[in-house]
Every structure is written in structure tokens, then in C-alpha cells.
């Protein structure tokens, strides 16, 4: 994920201007789902006629768009789906901060859905637009995170019958938010691996792993932080969009947003702690290195001086003539070395 | 405790789905306690008939489940005990953030109960589900932290008669929260031991102890932080679950949650201070090491050069022929060494 | 941008005193725009007669002043434009904190408009003064950031007709706030360039770039932080200045202020992380340097001592006479060196 | 003061259980003071009869207990003094977080009273229990901090007559809170001494003083932080305990709690700054040390090599036979040394 | 300014006790100003008769006291000026935290007025006591910061006539608060000077300047932080002391308090950044130093060993007899040195 994720118009562009993203738009695949009394019928593609008819009849309908649409697509279908111009612009631009916008008669919700791919965290966005009995979702990226949800929804038709779109809306939000858990679990494992590795192999590449983890956490925090506020506002139920029955479940979802931020916070503190420990260890090892050097130098410099003395070529050096001069010099060296070693030992150096 | 403590369903699973935890569930032991007018009668096991009868009669009953139940257990007894589906799911998954959930006619409370075991802090969770005169508690783990409470409750039957389940509920919450105190006391002692040790033995393993303490504190903070809010919400008494008489005691318990967080905060600051001091000490010792090396090198390098000079084999070196050349050279060396030492002393190096 | 950006009067000057800024004022260029039913007519210069007439008639008028006016200018035109004395003083002084001031019948708004110029971030200020149907804007600096806005306003005459000055006001605020995005994008790229560069070239000048980025971010944070509060207060719509139709758009703009602060925050954390990594790398490299030195010294000091010994001139040194003394001494040296190298290898030094 | 100051019952003990502290309780001395119309009469000891009579008559009475009572004492007198069971438990346990508890018809207040003793800060606690016209105070520790207050109260009988127990209560709280000032003044002086000392003597023991100060500040912060909230709640006067006349004075006291926290905060920042400066200084001195070493090594290693060369015993070394070989070699050494010194000077090393 | 600025009574002294400060009180000079219909008449000294007469008549009067009064002064004039006892005590003690106290019928305001003197920031306090049409100000220190205000007030008599004491009060507060700007400007310049200096001269004394700046900022923050709250409370206009006309100006003043805190915050971050950069630079230079040392040692130690070998006196050393032994040995040394240099170059060391 790039540090600056947003695409934006040149400042001064009027709001609601639709411009395709510079990146080529993913191929878009659509699907609409008719939620009849306890039965979900899936239709591929997007039939404007059918959609308009269902909308007029107030029949429960979910339109799913996968991939990021182009400006042309939006101009073609935006009006059919009755999307607010500002919502259209946000969907085209992508990289939004998660938010909840009540437009007149519409509820617009943006959420981040993180995912792990080859050890990298990819951030994709989900856009929900709810009109009374009509729900449109846009999800960037190629993978479909809601397939298992659809499967399971078919089995829990009872709730759909009772709470209708409220429950469907909740189930999508809950799925999106819970996608943080596998990502956090993987990160938690990376941190714990690093923790163990650090103790045994205090090498250079550890630093890069620490930094990589830190970067992921900063970006993840930025992406997930606003969820708490967004779900909190959903819970306050200002526009009376949700029935009592579903609010209990939304509270559960709200609780998850707190849990996620709590995990992120402790991860960040752990990483900070690991860096401190790593640096402290480096400092300690530096000290040990220097002690080895100092001990060696302190032992050998004086005795090298001694042998240097007896290598001088002065004519009058009585010691050189002595019978036991050589062993005496050697003994002097040994004495000096011993004294040095003892002195270091007394200072507690080894 | 692992960094990522929660077990979760794959995102998209409908709420209230019951799946056994991957870890083999502990063997579950049940007990139900009939609280008659001033008398506590304990029954081992869980007799659905009897329980249903008491519940219908509105008789004060406490059902205790020790160990983590399996999905089968929950399916078998969950309905008998009238547990809310979301509560059932949370209990099966474990690793919840402490929280207070008011379901319709039920109050669901999750608390963390830390415990020290072999110098490690183990985090176990307590789940309380209160229906009017009916209380169910689930406690993970094998040890029973409420045995002394039961003993003492028998003696204070007066309060039980007057405040009924309110008092029982409070007493359990209070016991759970006060379990942090022995853990904090043990940590406080470890920090103080480390403090003393640090002054005398500035060795490498200190770092590991500092990091271990830091990790425990981060996890403990994450586990205990939400208690303040949870007990605070109990105190606000939104659903009018508690009588005035017990609220005074809950306030005392609320105060304990603050005390615990205050202790944690000062522990963390202390640990941060210890690390700083440790590093500063390492830095200072490095400096001392380098000074020793520098002094030795600065004293011996010049004089080794001098003796090297008179070890040269030039034919025409008048000093070599002098009668007192040797002592003169030695005196020169002594002079140089002395000058160096004095220079260091003037700079305040030793 | 200087650390202390404000010009101020000597304390004790009565409020509303007009003094020209010490810096020579930029040449001022004026323009007034008549917003008739769907048509924008631009007039260069400032014709007091015409302006007063339009103001009296309640006709929608926008007066634009580009460059920083002098005290003389203000005294000449301030009254004509019905500017509040405190607003006049703020405009002359410049370097204001972004703020929203409701004067009687006037709304005074100050915003910061950052811009990148030759890799430096320049902070310029925009002052808006709205009276019922009359809008005056002052923009410091020579470049005109609202030219594209004017172009586009001509095309979206419909909104101007419906929401009148509300929409115009919003469009100017939105343009000013969105000017942060290109600046942030450029900064984000600089940080990512630095990130890559750091891994490959851990050189000294990196430090200066880190510091330069940090400084920009501190100043940018100071400049943009109050925007959130200012736009938030606009949204609360205390004086009922805005119609419902425009409030939806203002909420979008409010959301941008959050997005900008979120980006700034993650940038600052990233920069802090980069500095940490840089320092950690330096520490690690120092350690490596010292190990090279230590290994070299530890290997050569002992063997240099050995050859020194056999360079001594004692008369009675039996080894010197041996047939294989020389190879034996060499072998001893090789043995010592080997032992040292093995010892370092066992300690894991290379 | 220990990191973990609280004594607590084993979790699960019912609230209000009275157990003597493990530490031997200080000898307890009691005194009761009858506050008649403008006259204070002191009686040593505690006469239950007289106390009960006065309480029944609603006569203003202050019972002072000095030292920490044992469980036996509490059982003997607790009921006479009409102390709430939770208050009794808190007093016996000690080490409470400062708090304000309104029990039915009672106001229970806990405050920390720090004191300096032999350069150590001792934390003692004051417990106040106010019933309508009846005040009981418990103060741990042997010294009596309220003796001067009693002296002065005799002189200001007017206030006592007018505001009765309100004023007495306020005066005790104010005295307790103001006991922080001499402690803070002493700490401020220690910090300033350290500041001066640091500049002149950058030695090792400075670290220990910094850490000792830091520890005191962490503990002091923990002890005094809740005072602000406690006095703030007194000011809100929820139970209408205080008359208007005394509230003005309580506000003054509230202001002191802010002042104390402001001082603590700036002390902590100062200490953090001192540590940074100390470490920076150590780093700088290390650099200086290493430069000395490097200069010495760089000057002497090359010239030692040169003299080593002419100490070799090769048969065919023409320089050795030259007439001016020796002075030439010496000149070469001087040249090399000079070149090295000049090179370092150009790099700005000295 | 000292870390602990407050003078305080021994704890237990009743509030409102007047004791002279230990420091000799500055000589006090008084002045009273009659604000008649548009005319200011200044009278030196303090004539109790005249003052009492004006107060009784409700005539607008400003009594200015310059310097810190003694307890005797206060006892003599305090009652005449109708000062509240707590205000009298605060004025005598000095070193107060800025605050706003509403006494009955009086408004007591304390503000800090920083001033630069010889590169040091001096903190002096201003005390304002407003009774309906009667204003008393006390300003510590010898210099008169309100002289220019008085000059200018004479010219703006119109406002004085309309808003009376409200405007005068505001003007004094505004002047006091704006005295922070020149101090902040000077500090900003010191920081920027330091910034430039740091790049060119990374010497030791930089540390002391950084620390000195940090200390000033900590004390300034402590002194100015409460102003925001104090002026904010003035704005809320609880006692209805101010008319609408002056509130607009007070809001301007409130804005200045924010601006001041924003500047202080960015200064502190800048200083923290400078310290980091300084330390990082020191670390980098240390590394460079060590590389020089290591390169020198690594090049010369092996070749010094080689020449040492040929300085040995073994009888049977065939190389010594060779015709080209000497050049061969020299070539070997050159080869070794070259290899070492190439190895370092490949590692990117220079």
C-alpha cells in the first residue's frame, strides 16, 4: 500500500465530477440478488430494467459490483442505481477514509478490508449504499470476500425474512470488519517469530523485518482506526435505519472494532519494545567487542614495548650480556601480562 | 499468553454459529447452587429438569461451569440455561475483550482473571450471564477461583437474604477483579528485584528480564484496561439490575479498577526508566572501556616508536655508541609516558 | 516558512490598528465578479461605486483581492467593502491561525493554502469575508489558485442559481482545503524515495533529508490542524449561513480535513520510524567496524610480540641458534593466528 | 514507598472484612475535640460515652486518630464512631487511591500526604469521615501534621462559629493538600542541583540520582493525580455538604491541586531532558575519546612501520650504509607524522 | 525562573493569612486613574479618601500598583481597595498559576507576563481585580508594560466611553497576553540560529543551547498553558461581566492564546528534532572516526608484523641472505596494504 493512497481531482474541480482513475480500472463484474420471502435468487450482470422495476416495487434487492468501475460505467449505471453524485465520485477515486455519510434517503458507508497476500497486506475498500429496500455494494479487487457469506445466508433465511435488509446490511459490515482478524493473527505470528528469532540471531536483517512490520502497523492503524467511529455512528441509529433486532448484532460488531484497535495497539507497543531490545543488545555487544580489544591491547602493548627495548642496538646495554637476561625478560613480560589480566578481572570485565 | 488470543470464525460466518475451539476443550465440570432463604445448597452436575423448574419458580439459582465447554455441550445445555446465541458464541470462542452486553432480559459480562503460574501470567476469562433470579458463570481453566468466595458466602447469609442475586453477582465480579492484585504485587516485586539487581550486576540477561516484564505489562494492560469501562457501565445501572444497597459496593469495585490501572501505569513507567538507566549505564561503561584503551595506546605507542628507532640497523647512529645512550633512551620513554599520563589527568580522564 | 510566521503589533496597541507589514506588500490586483442569474461577469480592478450599488441591491457579488494589501489600501477600500476592523487587522498582519470568526452580520474565515515550490512548501493564507450576498476573498502570494475554479463555475451555473453564495463559498473553501493533497502526495513520494534510498545508501545526507521532512511536517501539521475545527464549526451552521443543500458538500469537505490529518499523522510516524532505522543501522555498522578492528588487532598483536621477542639482542638466546628456529617461530605465529580466528568464529563474529 | 503499596485481602473475601495489616500497626493515639461556640476543648483518649452523647446531641465534634489502628481497635470503636464497614476496611488496609465516597449520610475521603524524611519521600494517608456535625480523621504515621492547624483554629474561631464543620473539614483538606508544596520544593531544588552538577561533573553517579528522582516523581504523580478529581467532586457539592461560604475556599484548594500537577509535569519533563543531555554528553565524550585514540594510532602506526623497516636484518639494504641514512629516516618519520596531523586538522578534528 | 516558583505558607496556615514574601518586596509605586467621560486623569500615589469616594459614587477608576507589595502595605490598603482576603494572599505570595476566580461581586484574574531580559526569559505576574466600576491591577517587577497602553487609551476615548471598564479590562488582558509574542519571536530566532549553526558546527556547546531552550520552553508552556482556559472562561461570561461589544474582542484574544500554544508546541517538536539530529550526527561521526582508525590499523598491523619478522635474529633465515630480499619484503608489504585498501573500498568504507 502506498503512503498516499488517495486519487484526487485537481483542487478546484466541482464536487461530483467523474474522472476515471489513472490506473486502468479492474474489469467489473456485476450481480444482482433478489431477496424474496426466504429465497435468494442470483442473477449475473446488471439488467437496468429489472433493477428499476424491483426498486419501484420496493422489493428487497442487493446489487453487487466487483472490481473498480470506470467513469463510463458510472455514467451508464449510476443514475439507474440512484447513487448520490458524491458517492459516485468517492467510489471512482478510491482510497477513502472509512466513513458514514447520510445522504437524503441514502446511507453511504465506506470500509477498509485488509487482506494478506504473499506476506504483504493489501488494503481494499468496500462501499455500501443503502436505500430503503435496495442495497448496492462495490468492492475493489478481484477476490470475492462475500462468497462464503452468500452461501451461509441461504441457510439462515429466517433472519432475512424477519429483519430483511437490516440483517443483510449488518452481515456485510460484520464480514468486512472481521476480515481484519486473519490479518492480525498473521501479524501477531510474525511478531512472535521475530521475538524468538531476535534472541537467537541478533543479525542485521532483523532491523528490516522490524521496520516492515512497523510500516504495516502504521498503515493498518490508519485504515482501521475510523471503523470504530463509523460503526459507533451506525449504532446510534440516527436515521432509524435499523430495527432493534439487528442493533444487538451491530453492538457485537462495534465490540470487534475495539478489539481490533486494542490488538493493533499492543502490537505497536511490542514492536517498539523489540526495537529497543534489539538496539540495547547491539549496544551491549559493542561493549563486549570493545572489551576484547581493550584487554588484548592492554596486555600486549606493554610487553611488546619490553621486547622492543631489548631489540635496541645500544652498545652499552648490560642486560644483554647477562646469562639469564632472556628468561628474565620473558618473565617480566609474563608478569606484566598477568598483572593486567588480574586488574581487568578485578574490574569485572570477564 | 499469545499476542493474538482470540479464536474467530472465518469472516462471513453468521453470528451465533457454534464451532468448538481448535484446542481440545478442557473437561467441563458443572455445579448448581440453590440459594434459599439464607442457605446455600450445592449440587454437582447439571440437572436440566431441576434447573428449569427453579427458573420457572423464580428461585435464586447459581449455575457454575468450570472449564471451556465444547460446541456439543453448548448445543445440549445452552437452551436449558436460556443463554443468548451471541453469548454462547463468545463463550465458545474465548479470548474476548472484557465487555458488558445487555441482551433482552439478560446481562452478559466478560471479565479477565489473571493468575500467576510458574512466574508466567496466565489470562483466563470469566463469563457471567444474569437473568432475573438466575445466574450462570463460565470460568475457563482448571483452578477454581471462587471456592473461598463460596465458603465465605455461607457465613454472610444476611446480605444474600437482603440483596439476593445482586449481592452474589457483585461478589463474583469483585473477586474476579481483585485477582489482579496478587499478580500486580508479584510483578511489583519482580520490578523492584530487577531495580536492585541492575545496580549491582549490569549484565546482559537484565535485558531479557526487562523485555519479559514489558511484554507481560502490555498484555496485562490490554486485558485489564476495559474493566474500568465495564464496571463503570454496571454502576450506571442502566437496566436497573441492581438495588441501591449493592451499588455502594460496586463503587468500591469500580475504584479498584482505577487503582489497578494506576499501578499498571506506574509499573510501565518504571520499566521504561529501568531500560533507560540500563542503556545509559552501558553507554557509560563503553566510554570507560574506551578510555582505558586510549590511555594505554597513547602511552605505549610513542615509546614503542622510540625503542623501535634504536632498534634500527643504520651504520651511522651516534647515540648507539654513547656510554649512557641506553639509560637516556629509557629516560626519554619514561618522560613521554609521564607527559601523556599528566595530560590525561588534566583532561579529567581518571 | 519561518518558525514564527506572525507579524504582530507591539503589545498594547489597540485592536484594529492598521499598520503595513514590514515586508514590502506584494502588488495587489483586484477583480470583482457579478453572479447574475446563471452568468458570471468578471471585472478587473475595484470600482467602489459599483460595489456599493450591488451591495445595497443585495446582488450576489464576489470581490477577489490577490496579493497582500498595504495599510493604505485597507484604509481606502476597507470601509467600502464593509470589512470588520479586526478582520482588516488580521489580513494586514498575515500568519494567522486558521479560524472562523462570526462578527455581527459577517462571517470571517482564515485558511492555510500550502503549495510546493522548488521542493519547498510555501504556506499562503486565504481570507474569506462573507456578508449576506457579498463575498470578499484575500489571497496572499502571486499565483492564483482559484483560476480553474472560476472556469468550472461557469459550467455549473445550475448550482450557483440554486444555492447562490452558499455554494460559491463552499467551492472556495473546498478548493483551498484540497490544495493540501498535491503537497501531501509530493511529501509521501519523498518519504518513499527516502525509504528506498536508506536501504541502499546509508549515508550522512540521509539525516538532513529526514530532518528537512520532519520540519515540513511539523509546520504543515501546525498549519492544517485547525482546519478540522474550522470546517467543523462551519458545519454546525450556528448563524444559519448555509442551506441544507450545501451542508452535504461541506460534510465531504470536513471529511477531507480528517483524511489530511490522518495522512500527516502516518507520515510523521513513518519519519520517526525511518530515523530509528537509520540510527539502528548506524549502530550496527559501528559494531561491524569495531569487530574488524578487534579481529585484526587480536590476531596481529600476539604474533607481533612473538617476532619482537626474537628480534631481541640478548647474547644467550638458544632458539636463535637452532637450525629450524625460524620456521618454528613462523609456525608458532600461524598457530596463534589460527587459534584467534577460530575463537572469534566460535563467538559468531564472522 | 513500595511500588505496590496496597494491602489487600485474598480475593473472594467479602467486603467489609476486618483483618489487621501484616505490618505491626503503629500505636494508636486518640483525641477528641469539642467545638463549642467559639471554643475548642481537647480531650485525650476516646470516651465512647461522651462521643455518643455529643453525636446524639448534634454537637460539633472532631475525633482524631493518629497511627494505624488494628482490627481489634476497629471492632471496638468502629460502631461507636458510626463508621461504614467499607470505610473501616479501607482504613485498616491502607495504601488506598485518593477517593471520595458518599455513603448513606456519610462522606468518606482519602487523601495522600507526602512528606520528606532523610531525603526520601514518605507517603502517608489521611482518612476523613464526615457525618453531619461529627468528623473523624485517621492519619497513619507518627508525626502530627495538624498540630499547627489546631493552634491556628483557636485563633480563627469566628469562621468556625459561622461555617462550623464545613470550615473545619475544608481546613483539614487544605492542610493535607498543601503538604505537597514543601515536598515539591525540595524536589525542585534537587533537580536544580543536579542540573548544575551535571554541567561540571558528568560522572556515573548522576545516573543514579536521575533514576531516583524519576522514581519519586512517578510515585508522587500516582499518589497526587487523583486529588484533582477528588477535590473537584467535593466542589460539585453533590450531597450539599458545604455552604457557599466554604466553597470559595475549596475552589482555592482545587486550584492548588492543579498547580501541584503542573509542577509535577514540568519536573518530569525536566528530568527527561536531563537524562537526554547526560546521554548526549556521554556520546560526545565518547567521540572525543575515540578521536584522541585515532589520532595517536594514525600518527604512530606508520612511523613505527618505518623504523621497523630499518630494523630488518637483510644483508643487502643500501640505505643502512648511507652516511645520512639515520637522519633521513627520522626526517621521513617527522614528515609522515606532520602530514597526518595536518590531514586531521583539515578534517576539523582538533 | 526557578523550577518551583511559588511562595507558600507552612501547610495548616488559615487561608487569607498575610505574610510578606521572604525576598525583599520591590518598592511599590501606585497610581490611580480617573476615567471620566472620555478623559483619563492620572494621579500618582494612592489617596484612600479619594478612592473611597469614587468607589461609592460608582465612578470608573483604575488603581495601578507596580512592584510587589509587603504584608504591611496590604494590611494598610487592602481593605480600602476592597480586595478579597484570598486575592490579597495570592498577590503577596506570587508565583500563582494563571486563574480566574469569581469572588462575591469581584472578578480576580491572574496572568503571566513573560519578558526577555539579557537572553533570559523572566516571568512576571499580573493580578487584576475588577469590582463593578473599579479596577485594581498589581504588576510585579520594575518595568511598566502598560505605559504604551495608557498612551493609546487616551486616543481611543470613544471605546472607553461606550464600553467603559469592560473595554479597559479587555485591553489590559490583551496587552498581557500579547507580551508572549515578542518572547516567542526571539525564541523562534534562537531555534533557527541553532538549526543553521548545527549543520556547520556540530560542537559540544550546541547541547547546552538545546538544553537551555528546552528548559525555557517547558517553563513557558507551564506559564502560558492555563491562559487558554482562563480567557475561555472569561468568554463564557458567566457573571455577565462583559457587554457584547467587548466579547468580540475577547474572542480575538482567546484566539491568540491558541496561537501561542500552537507555536510553543511546534517549537518543542523542533527542539526535539534538533536533539535527535545532533545525536544522530554524533553517531555518524563516531562511525567515521572508527573507520579511519580501523583502516589505519588494518593496513599497518600486518605489514608491521612482516618487517618484525625480518628483524628477528635467527641464525638460519635464508631470505636475509638473498640479493633482492629487501625489495621483495617491501613489495610484500605494499601488496598487503593494497589488498587491505581494496577490501575496504569494496565494502564501501571510503
Cβ–Cβ gap D314/E313 under 8 Å: no
CA distance to partner chain D, nearest, from residue B12 (Å): 41
Calpha distance E232→E235 (Å, rounded): 5
Q: Does C348 touch chain E (CB under 8 A)?
A: no
Phi, psi at residue D33, to the nearest 5°?
A: -120, 120
In words, the CATH class of domain D1-155 is alpha beta
pLDDT of residue B202: 57
The residue ranges of DSSP E strands in chain C, in sequence order, are 29-36, 39-44, 61-66, 99-103, 106-117, 120-131, 134-139
CA distance to partner chain D, nearest, from residue B142 (Å): 17
* C239 contact partners, CB below 8 Å, separation of at least 6: C102, C107
* Mutation to test the D interface, candidates E289, E290, E336, E340, most D Cβ within 10 Å: E289
Of all residues in chain D, the one with the smallest CA distance to E3 is: D188
Of E170, E166, E18, E176, which is closest to residue E86 (Cα–Cα)? E18
Of all residues in chain E, the one with the smallest CA distance to C298 is: E301
* List of chains touching A (3+ CB pairs within 8 A): B, C
Facing residue for D97 by CB, picked from B251, B255, B286: B255
pLDDT at D136 over 90: yes
Chain A residues close to C178, C-beta within 8 Å? 8-9, 11-12
pLDDT of residue B299: 92
pLDDT at D202 over 70: no
pLDDT in tens, D274-291: 888 888 888 888 888 888
Chain B residues close to A182, C-beta within 8 Å? 11
CA distances from E192 to A270, C210, E189, E195, E279 (A): 36, 17, 5, 5, 18
Q: What percent of chain A has pLDDT over 90?
A: 18
Mean pLDDT of chain E: 85
pLDDT at D22 over 60: no
Quick check: helix, strand or coil at residue A337? helix
pLDDT in tens, A238-294: 778 888 878 888 888 898 898 889 889 999 988 988 888 888 888 888 888 888 899
* Mutation to test the D interface, candidates E1, E3, E13, E222, most D Cβ within 10 Å: E3
Cross-strand bridge partners of residue B30: B65
Chain E residues close to D276, C-beta within 8 Å? 275
* List of chains touching C (3+ CB pairs within 8 A): A, E
Q: Where do the structural domains in chain C lie, given as residue ranges?
A: 1-155, 290-347
Of all residues in chain D, the one with the smallest CA distance to B186 is: D4
pLDDT in tens, D99-131: 988 887 889 999 999 988 888 888 889 999 998
- DSSP codes of every residue in E271-291: HHHHHHHHHHHHHHHHHHHHH
pLDDT of residue D146: 86
* pLDDT class of E341 with cuts at 50, 70, 90: very high
> DSSP code of C143?
S
pLDDT of residue C22: 55
pLDDT of residue C17: 74
Residue with cell 557509560: B284
Calpha distance E46→B80 (Å, rounded): 88
pLDDT of residue D282: 81
pLDDT at C103 over 80: yes
Structure-derived torsion over alpha carbons of residues E232, E236, E241, E243, reported in degrees to the nearest 10: 100
Calpha distance E230→E214 (Å, rounded): 25
pLDDT at E29 over 90: no
* pLDDT class of A38 with cuts at 50, 70, 90: low
Average pLDDT, stretch E190-198? 84
* B296 contact partners, CB below 8 Å, separation of at least 6: A294, A297, A298, A301, A302
Phi, psi at residue A30, to the nearest 5°?
A: -115, 165
pLDDT at A26 over 70: no
Average pLDDT, stretch B134-156? 82
Q: What percent of chain C has pLDDT over 90?
A: 18
Q: What percent of chain E has pLDDT over 90?
A: 19
Of B210, B332, B207, B218, which is closest to residue B265 (Cα–Cα)? B218
Q: Does E204 touch chain D (CB under 8 A)?
A: yes
Cβ–Cβ gap E175/C317 under 8 Å: no
H or E element: which one contains C133?
Answer: none
The CATH architecture to which C290-347 belongs is: Up-down Bundle (1.20)
Higher pLDDT, C209 or A14: C209
Cβ–Cβ gap E252/C101 under 8 Å: yes
Chain A residues close to B222, C-beta within 8 Å? 262-263, 265-266
Query: In angstroms, how far is CA C55 from the centroid of its own chain?
Result: 38
Cβ–Cβ gap E266/C219 under 8 Å: yes
Cβ pairs bridging A and B (under 8 Å): 170
* pLDDT class of E284 with cuts at 50, 70, 90: confident
- The D residues from 247 to 306 touching B (CB cutoff 8 Å) are 275, 278-279, 282-283, 285-286, 289-290, 292-293, 296-297, 300-301, 303-304
Cβ–Cβ gap E312/D316 under 8 Å: no
pLDDT of residue C48: 85
pLDDT at C23 over 60: no
Of all residues in chain C, the one with the smallest CA distance to E249 is: C15
Chain B residues close to A199, C-beta within 8 Å? 208
Of all residues in chain E, the one with the smallest CA distance to D115 is: E11
pLDDT at D24 over 60: no
Least confident of A326-330, C154-158, E130-134: C154-158
CA distance to partner chain A, nearest, from residue B160 (Å): 32
Other residues' Cβ atoms within 10 Å of the Cβ of residue E272: 16
Q: Does B328 touch chain A (CB under 8 A)?
A: no
pLDDT in tens, A321-346: 888 999 999 999 999 999 999 998 88
Cβ–Cβ gap D222/B309 under 8 Å: no
Cβ–Cβ gap C286/A289 under 8 Å: no
CA distances from C152 to A72, A95, B313, C112, C175 (A): 21, 25, 94, 22, 12
* D332 contact partners, CB below 8 Å, separation of at least 6: D306
Calpha distance C263→C98 (Å, rounded): 19
Q: Does D331 touch chain B (CB under 8 A)?
A: no
Average pLDDT, stretch C2-24? 70
pLDDT of residue C340: 92
Cross-strand bridge partners of residue C126: C111, C139
* pLDDT class of B275 with cuts at 50, 70, 90: confident
pLDDT in tens, A178-230: 888 889 988 988 888 888 877 666 566 788 888 888 888 988 888 888 999 88
Facing residue for B207 by CB, picked from A153, A277, A301: A277
pLDDT in tens, A281-327: 888 888 888 888 999 999 999 999 999 999 989 888 888 888 899 99
* pLDDT class of B56 with cuts at 50, 70, 90: confident
Calpha distance E269→E112 (Å, rounded): 23
* Mutation to test the E interface, candidates D312, D339, D343, most E Cβ within 10 Å: D312
Cross-strand bridge partners of residue C110: C99, C127
pLDDT at B23 over 60: no
Cβ–Cβ gap B12/A145 under 8 Å: yes
- The A residues from 52 to 111 touching C (CB cutoff 8 Å) are 86, 96-97, 99, 101, 103-104
| Report for A35-49, B199-213, B227-241: range of highest mean pLDDT | B227-241
Of all residues in chain C, the one with the smallest CA distance to E251 is: C101
Higher pLDDT, B261 or E237: B261
User: What is the ipTM metric for this complex?
Assistant: 0.75
* pLDDT class of D300 with cuts at 50, 70, 90: very high
Q: Does A41 touch chain B (CB under 8 A)?
A: no
CA distance to partner chain C, nearest, from residue A276 (Å): 10
pLDDT in tens, D333-350: 999 999 999 998 888 776
Cβ–Cβ gap C297/A297 under 8 Å: yes
Cβ–Cβ gap C289/E284 under 8 Å: no
Amino acid at each position: 500500500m502506498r503512503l498516499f493512497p488517495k486519487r484526487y481531482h485537481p483542487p478546484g474541480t466541482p464536487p461530483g465530477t467523474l474522472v476515471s482513475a489513472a490506473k486502468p480500472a479492474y474489469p467489473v463484474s456485476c450481480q444482482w440478488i433478489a431477496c424474496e420471502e426466504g429465497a435468494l435468487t442470483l442473477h449475473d450482470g446488471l439488467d437496468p430494467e429489472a433493477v428499476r422495476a424491483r426498486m419501484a416495487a420496493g422489493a428487497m434487492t442487493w446489487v453487487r459490483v466487483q472490481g473498480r468501475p470506470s467513469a463510463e460505467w458510472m455514467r451508464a449505471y449510476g443514475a439507474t442505481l440512484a447513487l448520490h453524485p458524491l458517492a459516485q465520485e468517492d467510489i471512482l477515486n478510491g482510497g477513502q477514509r472509512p466513513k458514514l455519510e447520510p445522504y437524503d434517503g441514502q446511507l453511504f458507508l465506506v470500509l477498509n478490508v485488509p487482506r494478506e497476500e504473499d506476506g504483504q497486506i493489501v488494503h481494499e475498500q468496500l462501499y455500501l449504499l443503502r436505500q430503503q429496500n435496495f442495497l448496492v455494494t462495490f468492492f475493489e479487487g478481484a477476490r470475492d470476500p462475500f462468497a462464503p457469506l452468500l452461501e451461509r445466508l441461504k441457510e439462515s433465511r429466517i433472519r432475512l425474512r424477519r429483519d430483511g435488509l437490516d440483517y443483510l446490511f449488518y452481515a456485510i459490515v460484520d464480514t468486512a470488519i472481521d476480515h481484519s482478524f486473519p490479518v492480525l493473527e498473521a501479524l501477531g505470528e510474525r511478531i512472535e517469530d521475530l521475538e524468538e528469532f531476535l534472541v537467537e540471531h541478533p543479525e542485521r536483517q532483523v532491523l528490516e523485518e522490524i521496520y516492515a512490520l512497523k510500516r504495516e502497523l502504521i498503515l493498518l492503524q490508519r485504515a482501521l482506526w475510523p471503523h470504530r467511529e463509523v460503526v459507533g455512528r451506525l449504532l446510534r441509529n440516527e436515521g432509524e435505519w435499523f430495527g432493534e433486532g439487528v442493533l444487538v448484532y451491530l453492538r457485537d460488531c462495534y465490540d470487534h472494532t475495539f478489539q481490533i484497535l486494542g490488538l493493533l495497539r499492543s502490537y505497536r507497543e511490542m514492536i517498539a519494545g523489540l526495537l529497543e531490545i534489539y538496539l540495547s543488545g547491539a549496544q551491549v555487544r559493542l561493549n563486549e567487542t570493545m572489551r576484547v580489544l581493550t584487554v588484548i591491547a592492554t596486555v600486549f602493548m606493554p610487553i611488546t614495548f619490553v621486547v622492543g627495548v631489548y631489540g635496541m642496538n645500544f652498545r652499552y646495554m648490560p642486560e644483554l650480556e647477562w646469562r639469564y637476561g632472556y628468561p628474565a625478560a620473558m618473565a617480566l613480560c609474563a608478569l606484566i601480562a598477568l598483572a593486567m589480566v588480574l586488574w581487568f578481572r578485578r574490574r569485572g570485565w570477564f
